[in-house]
Structure 1
Amino acid sequence: MRYLVLSDIHGNWPALETVLRAAPPFDRVLFLGDAVGYYPDGDRVLDWLWEVGAECVLGNHDAWLLALEALPQEGVVLEILAWQRRRLAKRHLEFLASWPWQKEVEGGLLVHGSPCDPLEYLDDLALAREAFGCTGARLAFHGHTHLAGAFLELQGPRPWVRYQAFPEGGELLLPPSVRALVNPGSVGQPRDRVPGAAFALWEGDRILFHRVAYDLERVAHRLAEEGFPPWLYTRLTLGE
């Protein structure tokens, strides 16, 4: 079984379209949360995830959109989410609301932030050590930081944890004695200073990281069309 692993699309349809053209054949889609937020086309992203029967977990932007009535309507992020919610159909909201915070798939764990806390940014070795302690899964996929890479735990009397970044792609092979927390990077808004759309392919003990360039001017056009802040385009050009 070959899985296409995606995270943090954030309504960036041109980025997702490019990923789908670039990705080799796959059997199923795993989505690690944040379909909405930042860019205008959250409805198109949700339609595609529904159509392909993706296995999805909830991200913080997804949860915020569902709970907007209980949140203070302040800040650009919440304003964008409110704009997007007005354009979503009932089926989109029901689909989002059906996503759990965590899900197990073929022995792997899917979560947006960390196995300890779905809203935690898993971005240092101390947090990774705690995260390994919160799951018995040998392989867990997470997003949230928008950084492509993997925390690796070598099992033994005293487990050893290290981090390996994959900002421009690469291959990760997991020996039997290694556990991993894998982040495929962000499709819609990378933050490791490498522009482009990030994704991963998982098959057995092999994970391939990819980063593909796409036409950022299409995003700039959509942002201008809908009156979104221009700094959202600037972030894409810088990969941050």
Structure 2
Amino acid sequence: MPTLLLSDIHGNLAALEAVLEHARRHEFERVLFLGDAVGYYPDGDAVIDRLRALGAEGVMGNHDAWMLTQDVLEGEGYVFEILRWQSEHLSEENRAWLAALPWTREGEGWMAVHGSPCDPFLYVDDLDLARAAFGCTAARWIFHGHTHLAGAFTALDGPKGPWVRYKPFTEPENLLKVGPKARAMVNPGSVGQPRDGVPLAGYAVWDEEAGTVRAYRVAYEIEAVARRVEEVGFPPALHQRLKKGR
């Protein structure tokens, strides 16, 4: 069953719409959302509308959780100021959808989590952390986000533990082929705020039967995001960083 992988949208509606338009050229039967629909950019409510319309299955991200807890009222700094604003502009239906997301979601041979299988809030951004993450689940395929870095860790059992390698997804189209004895931990990249130096939205399509992930980077109208950020009074640095992919 080909599966569309989306993560870290963060209220960036322009990026999500560009990704969905690009994804229409590929066949997929399911949408798996890896957390953080809200935060940073203004259109969290509209983003959740799109995810619900797609019938997306999802997991909770840290920004999603912060919005729904006392943290959003007590947290200091612009991140929590933005979440408070978004919370006030979120429909009750979308709040209920967000609140119903689990920390992890699992199927036969796969697992989805925002951060690490060891801890949903833990970043997996180096080989040692990836090696530990593979040890926290028996799933062959692990899908995660959180780092905003598009790429995949692959693991193959060796005589003294797993050999772990990393492949970044920085080209317009990237293919990962996973052999029958290997495992993979895949980050499709951030739709709404990439941080790998590539100022393009990221997403991927997983084909379990073929043992492949095809990851894509997509241009979108960053100036449209800039106008929305200015309109609602969010910090200008939020859209300026999009131009650098940082």
The normalised TM-score by structure 1 is: 0.97
Alignment of 1:150-189 (within 5 A): 150-158=152-160, 159-168=162-171, 169-189=173-193
1:63-82 deviation digits (Å, cap 9, x = unpaired): 00001357523100000000
Distance in 1, matches of 2:156 and 2:109, equals 18
2:216 equivalent to 1:210: yes
For residue 158 of structure 2, give the secondary structure of its aligned residue in structure 1: coil
2:24 equivalent to 1:20: no
Distance in 2, matches of 1:225 and 1:66, equals 25
Instruction: Identify if the C-alpha distance between structure 1 residues 9 and 70 changes in structure 2 by more than 3 Å, giving closer, same or farther.
Output: closer
Alignment of 1:1-240 (within 5 A): 1-23=1-23, 24-68=26-70, 72-158=74-160, 159-168=162-171, 169-204=173-208, 205-240=211-246
Distance in 2, matches of 1:219 and 1:226, equals 11
Shift of 1:163: 1.1
1:80-114 deviation digits (Å, cap 9, x = unpaired): 00000001121111111110100013421000000
Instruction: Identify if the C-alpha distance between structure 1 residues 149 and 69 changes in structure 2 by more than 3 Å, giving closer, same or farther.
Output: closer
Distance in 2, matches of 1:73 and 1:104, equals 31
Distance in 1, matches of 2:204 and 2:217, equals 9
1:145-167 deviation digits (Å, cap 9, x = unpaired): 00011111112333211111112
Instruction: Identify if the C-alpha distance between structure 1 residues 10 and 171 changes in structure 2 by more than 3 Å, giving closer, same or farther.
Output: same
Q: Which moved more, 1:73-82 or 1:19-28?
A: 19-28
Q: Which moved more, 1:37-46 or 1:167-176?
A: 167-176
1:205-239 deviation digits (Å, cap 9, x = unpaired): 11001001111111011111111111011110000
For residue 155 of structure 1, give the secondary structure of its aligned residue in structure 2: strand
Shift of 1:52: 1.5
RMSD after superposition: 1.2
Q: Structure 1: which 5+ runs fail to align? A: none
Shift of 1:60: 0.2
Question: Is the Cα–Cα contact under 8 Å of residues 127 and 165 in structure 2 kept in the other structure?
Answer: yes
Instruction: Identify if the C-alpha distance between structure 1 residues 154 and 215 changes in structure 2 by more than 3 Å, giving closer, same or farther.
Output: same
The one-letter code sitting in structure 1 at the alignment partner of 2:226 is A
Q: Structure 2: which 5+ runs fail to align? A: none
Question: Is the Cα–Cα contact under 8 Å of residues 155 and 179 in structure 1 kept in the other structure?
Answer: no
Q: Which moved more, 1:167-176 or 1:112-121?
A: 167-176
Shift of 1:61: 0.1
For residue 142 of structure 2, give the secondary structure of its aligned residue in structure 1: strand
Question: Is the Cα–Cα contact under 8 Å of residues 66 and 72 in structure 2 kept in the other structure?
Answer: no
Distance in 1, matches of 2:109 and 2:33, equals 16
The one-letter code sitting in structure 1 at the alignment partner of 2:96 is E
The one-letter code sitting in structure 1 at the alignment partner of 2:213 is I
The normalised TM-score by structure 2 is: 0.95
For residue 74 of structure 2, give the secondary structure of its aligned residue in structure 1: coil
